[in-house]
Structure 1
Amino acid sequence: AAFAVARRRCSALASVGEFASDVAARGGEMWVFSYGSLMWQTPPEVRALKRTRATLHGYERSFCVYSRNYRGTPESPGLVLGLQPAAGSKCEGVAVCLGRPDCELAIVSLEAIDAQEMIAQDNPLPVYVRRLATL
């Protein structure tokens, strides 16, 4: 499966562009690993071309990220899902294909996901797709 792996965090439009350039240099498509609500529901501006089951080894899903936006207030942040390193563990999720990086809709989709979902991830991680079949 052609699957681009980013080594840098997408946290601003400049880094979204940097990620897209990295994927373009490899001749691939932009894929995002989802392990929480993004598995079932994407933001309205996101166009998901394909979805497939994916596994992230060495990490587990955990309520470990404090949020003032989705589950709390500035005075009392709530916990939302994040990923934590855990030897011998694996996190099952869904890989979402956004398309080729030269497609404007793919960039808009990545920016929307970055703004909503990637608030606490320092380093995007490699994810291995079991099979490339849409869900």
Structure 2
Amino acid sequence: MEGFTGGQQSIVHLVSTVQEATLRFVFTDGHGIIEWTEFHDDLAQLEEVDWPLMEEHYWFDTHDYPDRKRRRQAEFLVHGRFPIGLIRGIGVIDQQKKAKTERLLASFRLAIPVATKPGWYY
């Protein structure tokens, strides 16, 4: 994001289910700023996301697969707001961020599970 200098340590991942949310959303098959990225608002089109690529450790572009980097940056965006009650979990980069996130949640009396997920970061 332009102007963001917080690094990966500042990012938390909110986990929920699309089916429960019933909110307006859009998802992409790659980075949203790229001209040829496709935008979808129908869950039947989720197969357009390159799910196997999301599990790979390395995802830089190669001669055989020149579009990996863009596709790995697919997004799922919810319009307007996302009610905190729909969050089923939070993924963070390390134990330090986990402890900080748990303290913040406790200060608001929220019992949302927090897990370290370093594989979710690059």
Same fold (TM over 0.5): no
Q: Which one has the bigger helix percentage?
A: 2
Q: Which has the higher contact order (CA 8 A, sep 6+)?
A: 1
